[in-house]
């Protein structure tokens, strides 16, 4: 048996490294009877096509950024809802609430989630320190989805769309002046080339998810199935640990490279949480029943 | 069947299809289809559809038709002719004369566009007819164009450096900086080659009008103002942050329309002509791009490129021997895959090999781009060759022959950056930290 | 019939051209907004929502809708170096084989593309940006373009069989 597995991120990303280990574990557990070839960095399918490629059995398994699907159902995007879950503990509880609903939604497409691993919590990158939400007002703020656009508007900032590859240039030319992203992305894109300040506001803890095609999975022998499920469970645990280690390492790396890393002031945190609360109210108005069910499970 | 045998079979199929006269885009798809059906278990039809869609709606690619349209508009207005007449007196004494416009024009345009196809199409649309009318030799016109247009990949912005930077998590800003000096080095090599050819064989190059005094030259240069405004407007918009590189293409179209209309030599009928011609050219290029993407994905499923790369890795070569082996490997692969596919398909295998022998990944990115530039001008699958055939009607083998000296200059460029890595690393190191 | 088909290719080509104009307009509008924001200050910032997505979709429409038009204009690149050395009858056969091979791959692609559009529609796939666009809409434009290319190839085969001679330009000099 051999499977092809497209993933969107490069080989030095901890997600990809975790998946490479997962593939190795599966191969070892089946004595080489099941091999998974990892095609990283979008080398087989672009990120936008990976889910559908697994759905129509072009490949058997794949990874993608879960909240990419939030336009299809808000339940997918819960982990990118600003200031809903801001620590690993909260993110774990949110995933526990989210998993059954997401699994049911994916099952309608013939997909089955294997495991999901978070990125480090999202921090705020700016030139100069941000002490209160008011300091964000009037700043040109990078937004790439509807939630972020709403966030920027509520904070009084000007949302600007910038493609990820264009971020350094957008900063250096003044097209944007602030962005929210993980410390990993900040280090990988060498954020010190274009911003001076970083604060871990832990805006949200987004996740990648690994899914298999259900029919392909069902065709496997019981032994291989359980080998995959076991490896997935281990990979999820390992991934969360890697993510936690990554968060502190990469934040330190930002500081080492000359970025001023500062703790957000109490005022900033409360201001941001107020925005988060407003967004959640608006969210409630348009969310599906599934998504609301996640929220009520999570909140209780 | 072993991997090298499969590769040979597929290569033979491709040659037969191309020789029959099958359209390049469809030939690439057919070869990919054969590869998928014969050598993999993947559902070829679904993958083909996914590829056709997934690779045809990218934002970065949206600049392509716009740049081509800009070239078509300039061609149909008096602006192109003005540019050459204005530059003629200045270059009258330079060995090679207006051929340097091809080289420098491509270099300047490369600072606007991230792709070599757009560079070849835009500059070639103006320079090929102008230089041909003036009696320059076809081989040098085509050769300088095919060679210099590859600078679109190296001089920032660059699509392929973005792809490499994303795949290997290198800073794209640093990669862009690293591309600047090697880009200038290639400009010097290309211009130098033209000058040497002109010295060796002076009757090759037609005379340009000689203006005696400096004042006369400046007077004649007034005709350069519109084009200079266009270039400043487009480049300026990128470097002031008003426009991203894709945005800048649209600005280029609008500015060139304004300038063309203001010279009084551009009607609505001309615009319609330009638009329809741009539609065909961009369709032709985009169709080949998706065909190449499908071939690339089918190669991903067969695993041939990564197996071959891993085989090279298994030889445990010294850094220089490894680079030599990789260069041969990439040049061979680049003959029948497009450059971006080569990078995408092999980085996972090649990068660990490269870091294991202590090669700087930033330097390697630039090395890779120059090697990919070579693949743009090697037959049978070379994008600059296709674009130039589309522009001039000259068949790709003749274009490839004209481009051969420039291929060799690119090889020389690789040797130079290997001996003097500072050409690559000096600027990004000076960037701070 | 002849007139209808030629109209079909021309109209789809014109729609493709309009898509390119569309890309140009939407991007230019955004650049103007950026310029205003730069002059008047960030308070004047405005981003056309999902404009990069829309530009991409229009690019796909431009590419696919122009396929048949470009083919009939002989503007798709091919290498006729070898087949040109053949006698007229040989050239006719070579071109006919090309049309048939082209029809096979294009028809195959068209069939699966329709399947892809159906799947997108069935599962309600949407674009991930600020504006959620149901993907079947832009995909349909691409499918229509592929379909017209299939028609153009069948048309060319019929025409070629009737003429018993090569009918298309090579996209290169003679
Ligand atoms: Na460039
Ligand atoms: Na090539």
Q: Which of B193-202, B226-235, C70-79 has the lowest mean pLDDT?
A: B226-235
Q: How far is A58 from chain B (nearest CA, A)?
A: 6
- The answer to whether A7 touches A62, Cβ cutoff 8 Å, is yes
Which residues have a Cβ under 8 Å from the Cβ of A249 and sit 6 or more positions away?
none
- Which ligand number lies closest to the CA of residue B67? 1
Q: Which residue among B50, B59, B238 sits closest to A58, beta carbon to beta carbon? A: B50
A68–chain C nearest CA distance, Å = 6
CB contact under 8 A, B283 and C75: yes
Each residue of C20-69: pLDDT tens digit? 999 999 999 999 998 898 888 777 878 888 888 999 999 999 999 999 99
Mind telling me how many Å the CA of A230 is from chain B's nearest CA?
26
* A191 CA: distance to closest CA in chain B (Å): 9
Q: pLDDT over 90 for what percent of chain B?
A: 44
Q: Which residue did the predictor score with more confidence, B405 or B231?
A: B405
**Tokens describing residue B380:** 């049978």
- Give me the residues of B, 364-403, that contact C with CB < 8 A: 380, 386, 389-390, 392-397
Nearest Cα to Cα of residue B428 among A193, A168, A188, A195:
A193
CA of B239 to the centre of ligand 1 (A): 13
Residue C106 CA to residue C151 CA, distance in Å, equals 10
Query: What's the CA gap between A89 and A97, in Å, rounded?
Result: 13
Ligand 2 centre from B333 Cα, in Å?
8
Least confident window among A73-82, A234-243, B211-220, C143-152: B211-220
The confidence band for C173, taking pLDDT boundaries of 50, 70 and 90, is very low
- Helix (H) or strand (E) holding C75, with range, is none
Closest Cβ opposite residue C66 in set B52, B58, B280: B280
Six token digits for residue C91: 């050239």
What's the CA gap between A45 and A50, in Å, rounded? 6
Band of the pLDDT at B63, cuts 50, 70, 90? confident
Average pLDDT over residues C141-146: 98
Mean pLDDT of chain A: 93
Q: The tokens of B321 are what?
A: 């021997």
Tell me the C-alpha to C-alpha distance, in Å, between residue B64 and each of B67, B171, B361.
5, 25, 29
Predicted complex ipTM: 0.94
Q: Cα C160 from chain centroid?
A: 23
Min distance B22 CA to chain C CA atoms (Å) = 5
Q: Where does the pLDDT of residue C155 fall: very low under 50, low under 70, confident under 90, or very high at 90 and above?
A: very high
Of A153-157, B211-215, B260-264, least confident by mean pLDDT is B211-215
Confidence of residue C172 (pLDDT cuts 50, 70, 90): very low
Task: List the beta bridge partners of residue A112.
Answer: A212
- A250: which chain B residues are within 8 Å (Cβ-Cβ)? none
Q: Which residue has the higher pLDDT, B356 or C159?
A: C159
Of B166, B173, B301, the CB nearest to A41: B166
- The answer to whether the peptide bond before residue B380 is cis (omega within 30 degrees of 0) is yes
**CB proximity A146 to C under 8 Å:** yes
Chain B residues with CB under 8 Å of C24 CB are 66, 69, 250, 253-254
At B172-181, the pLDDT tens digits run 778 888 999 9
Q: From the list C24, C67, C146, which residue is nearest B283 (CB)?
A: C67
Give the per-residue pLDDT at B211: 58
- Please give, rounded to a whole number of angstroms, the shortest distance from the CA of C1 to a CA of chain B: 24
Segment C96-123, tens digit of pLDDT:
999 999 999 999 999 999 999 999 999 9
B239 or A65, higher pLDDT:
A65
pLDDT above 70: percentage of residues in chain B: 98
Res. B86: pLDDT tops 60? yes
Please write the tens of the pLDDT for every residue from C62-90.
999 999 999 999 888 888 778 878 888 89
CB atoms within 10 A of CB A111: 22
Q: Where do the domains of chain C lie?
A: 2-163
Kindly list the residues of chain A whose beta carbon comes within 8 Å of any beta carbon in chain B. 4, 10-13, 37-46, 48-49, 52-53, 56-59, 162-166, 168-170, 172-175, 188-190, 192-194, 257-258
Confidence check: pLDDT of B404 > 80: yes
> What confidence score (pLDDT) does residue B433 get?
46
CA distance C141 to B18: 29
The fraction of chain A above a pLDDT of 90, given in percent, is 76
Cβ–Cβ gap A173/B297 under 8 Å: no
Token duo for residue A216 = 């392909």
**Exposed (0-12), middle (13-18) or buried (19+): which is B221, by Cβ within 10 Å?**
middle
A267 reaches C (C-beta below 8 A): no
Q: Can you tell me the mean pLDDT for B69-91?
A: 82
- Predicted pLDDT at B210: 61
Q: Residue B358: is it exposed, middle or buried by C-beta count within 10 angstroms (0-12/13-18/19+)?
A: exposed
Asked whether the beta carbons of residue A144 and residue C129 sit closer than 8 angstroms, the reply is yes
| pLDDT value at residue B49 | 98
Q: Is the pLDDT of residue B208 over 70?
A: no
User: How far is residue C170's CA from residue B395's CA, in Å, rounded to a whole number?
Assistant: 10
Length of chain B: 433
Compute the distance between CA of residue B320 and CA of residue C111 in angstroms, rounded to an integer. Answer: 49
pLDDT of residue B171: 78
Report the percent of chain A where pLDDT is more than 70. Answer: 100
Among B385, B389, B390, which residue's Cα sits nearest to residue B404?
B385
How far is ligand 1, taken at its centre, from the CA of residue B336, in Å? 23
Residue A146 CA to residue A139 CA, distance in Å, equals 18
Which pLDDT band, with edges at 50, 70 and 90, does A175 fall under?
confident
Q: What's the mean pLDDT in B82-90?
A: 79
CA distance C158 to chain A (A): 35
Joined tokens for residue B10? 């597929």
As a 3-state breakdown, chain B gives helix, strand, coil percent values, each rounded to 5, of 80, 0, 20
B190 token code pair: 């290309």
Q: Are A174 and A167 in contact (CB under 8 A)?
A: no
Which of B49, B58, B389 shows the shortest C-beta gap to C115? B49
Contact (CB, 8 A) for A228 and A34:
yes
Report which of B130, B213, B221, B179 is spatially closest to residue B370, judged by C-alpha positions: B179
DSSP track, A98-167: HHHHHHHHHHTTTEEEEEEEEPPPPEEEESS---SGGGGTT-EEE--SHHHHHHHHHTT-EEE---GGGH
Q: Which of B331, B340, B338 is nearest to B385 (CA)?
A: B338
The answer to whether the CB atoms of B48 and C109 lie below 8 A apart is yes
- Strand, helix or coil at B95? coil
For the residues of B15-53, what is the DSSP string, one character each? HHHHHHT--HHHHHHHHHHHHHHHH--S-HHHHHHHHHH
Rounded Cα distance between A6 and A43, Å, is: 7
b/e C11-28 (16+ beta carbons within 10 angstroms → b): ebbbbbbbbbbbbbebbb
Contact B241 A169 (CB under 8 A): yes
Q: Please give the pLDDT value at position B431.
A: 66
Q: What span, in angstroms and rounded, lies between the C-alpha atoms of C148 and C128?
A: 29
Rg (alpha carbons) of chain C, rounded to whole number: 21
What ligand has the least distance to the C-alpha of B118? 1
Q: pLDDT tens-digit profile of B103-159?
A: 988 998 888 777 888 889 888 988 899 899 888 999 999 999 999 999 989 988 887
B153 Cα: distance to centroid of ligand 1 (angstroms): 5
Q: Hey, which chains touch A, using 3+ CB pairs under 8 Å? A: B, C
Indicate whether B432 pLDDT > 60: no
Element (DSSP H or E) covering residue C162 = helix C136-163
Task: Identify all chain C residues contacting B50, using CB atoms and an 8 Å cutoff.
Answer: 116
Q: What pairing do the DSSP bridges indicate for beta strands A158-160 and A111-118?
A: unpaired
Nearest to B244 among A12, A41, A166 (CB): A166
Contact across the interface for A138 and C43, Cβ inside 8 Å: yes
Tokens found for residue B245: 């590189």
């Amino acid at each position: 048996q051999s499977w092809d597995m497209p993933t969107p991120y490069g080989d030095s990303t901890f997600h990809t490294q975790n998946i490479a280990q997962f593939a190795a574990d599966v191969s070892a557990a089946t004595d080489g009877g099941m091999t998974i070839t990892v095609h990283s960095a979008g080398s087989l399918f672009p990120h936008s096509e990976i889910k559908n490629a697994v759905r129509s059995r072009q490949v058997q398994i794949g990874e993608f950024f879960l909240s990419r699907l939030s336009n299809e159902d808000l339940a997918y995007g819960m982990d990118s809802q600003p200031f809903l879950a801001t620590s690993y503990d909260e993110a774990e509880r949110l995933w526990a609430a989210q998993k059954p609903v997401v699994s049911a939604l994916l099952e309608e497409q013939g997909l089955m989630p294997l495991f999901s691993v978070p990125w480090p919590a999202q921090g705020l990158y700016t030139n100069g320190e941000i002490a209160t939400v008011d300091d964000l007002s009037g700043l040109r703020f990078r937004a790439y989805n509807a939630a972020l656009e709403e966030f920027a508007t509520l904070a009084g900032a000007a949302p600007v769309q910038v493609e990820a590859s264009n971020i350094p240039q957008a900063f250096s030319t003044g097209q944007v002046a602030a962005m929210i992203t993980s410390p990993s992305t900040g280090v990988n894109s060498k954020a010190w080339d274009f911003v001076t300040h970083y604060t871990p506001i832990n805006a949200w803890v987004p996740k990648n998810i690994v899914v298999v095609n259900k029919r392909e999975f069902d065709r496997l022998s019981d032994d291989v199935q359980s080998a995959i499920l076991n490896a997935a469970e281990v990979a999820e645990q390992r991934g969360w640990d890697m993510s936690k280690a990554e968060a502190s390492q990469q934040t330190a790396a930002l500081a080492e490279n000359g970025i001023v890393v500062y703790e957000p002031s109490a005022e900033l945190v409360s201001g941001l949480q107020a925005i988060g609360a407003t967004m959640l109210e608006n969210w409630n108005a348009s969310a599906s029943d599934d998504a609301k069910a996640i929220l009520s499970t999570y909140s209780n | 069947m072993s991997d090298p045998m499969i590769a040979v079979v597929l290569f033979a199929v491709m040659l037969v299809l191309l020789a029959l006269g099958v359209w390049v885009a469809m030939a690439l798809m057919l070869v990919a289809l054969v590869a998928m059906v014969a050598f993999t278990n993947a559902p070829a039809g679904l993958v083909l559809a996914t590829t056709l869609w997934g690779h045809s709606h990218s934002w970065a690619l949206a600049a392509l038709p716009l740049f081509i349209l800009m070239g078509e508009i300039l061609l149909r207005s008096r602006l192109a002719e003005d540019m050459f007449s204005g530059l003629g007196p200045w270059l009258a004494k330079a060995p090679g004369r207006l051929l340097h416009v091809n080289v420098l024009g491509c270099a300047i345009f490369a600072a606007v566009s991230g792709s070599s196809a757009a560079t070849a199409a835009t500059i070639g649309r103006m320079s090929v007819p102008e230089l041909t009318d003036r009696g320059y030799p076809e081989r040098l016109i085509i050769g300088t164009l095919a060679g210099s247009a590859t600078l679109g990949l190296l001089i920032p912005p660059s699509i392929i450096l973005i792809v490499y930077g994303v795949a290997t998590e290198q800073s794209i800003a640093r990669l862009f900086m690293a591309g600047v000096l090697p880009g200038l080095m290639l400009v010097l090599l290309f211009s130098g080659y033209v000058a040497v050819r002109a010295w060796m064989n002076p009757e090759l190059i037609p005379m340009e009008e000689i203006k005696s005094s400096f004042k006369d030259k400046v007077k004649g240069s007034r005709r350069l103002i519109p084009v200079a405004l266009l270039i400043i407007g487009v480049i300026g918009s990128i470097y002031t942050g008003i426009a991203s590189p894709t945005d800048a293409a649209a600005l280029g179209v609008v500015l060139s329309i304004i300038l063309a209309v203001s010279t009084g030599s551009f009607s609505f009928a001309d615009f319609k002509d330009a638009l329809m011609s741009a539609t065909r050219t961009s369709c032709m290029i985009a169709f080949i791009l998706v065909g190449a993407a499908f071939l690339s994905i089918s190669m991903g499923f067969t695993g041939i490129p990564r197996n071959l790369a891993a085989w090279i890795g298994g030889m445990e070569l010294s850094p220089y021997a490894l680079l030599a082996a990789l260069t041969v490997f990439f040049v061979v692969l680049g003959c029948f895959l497009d450059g971006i596919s080569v990078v995408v398909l092999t980085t996972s295998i090649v990068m660990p090999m490269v870091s294991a022998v202590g090669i700087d990944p930033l330097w390697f990115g630039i090395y890779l781009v120059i090697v990919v530039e070579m693949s743009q001008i090697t037959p049978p699958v070379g994008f600059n060759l296709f674009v130039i055939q589309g522009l001039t009607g000259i068949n790709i083998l003749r274009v490839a022959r004209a481009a051969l000296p420039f291929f060799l200059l690119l090889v020389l460029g690789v040797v130079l950056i290997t001996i003097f890595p500072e050409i690559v690393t000096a600027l990004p190191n000076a960037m701070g930290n | 019939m002849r007139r209808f088909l030629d109209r079909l290719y021309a109209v789809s080509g014109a729609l493709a051209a309009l898509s390119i104009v569309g890309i140009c307009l939407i991007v230019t509008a955004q650049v103007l907004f950026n310029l205003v924001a730069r002059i008047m200050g960030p308070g004047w910032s405005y981003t056309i929502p999902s404009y990069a997505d829309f530009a991409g979709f229009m690019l796909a429409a431009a590419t696919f809708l122009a396929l048949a038009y470009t083919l009939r204009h002989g503007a798709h690149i091919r290498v006729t170096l070898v087949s040109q050395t053949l006698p007229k009858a040989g050239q006719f056969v070579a071109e006919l084989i090309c049309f048939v091979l082209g029809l096979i791959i294009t028809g195959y692609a068209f069939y699966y593309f329709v399947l892809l559009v159906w799947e997108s529609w069935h599962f309600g796939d949407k674009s991930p940006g600020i504006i959620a666009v149901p993907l079947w809409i832009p995909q349909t434009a691409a499918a229509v373009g592929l379909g017209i290319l299939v028609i153009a190839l069948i048309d060319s085969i019929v025409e070629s069989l009737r003429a018993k001679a090569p009918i298309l330009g090579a996209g290169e000099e003679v």
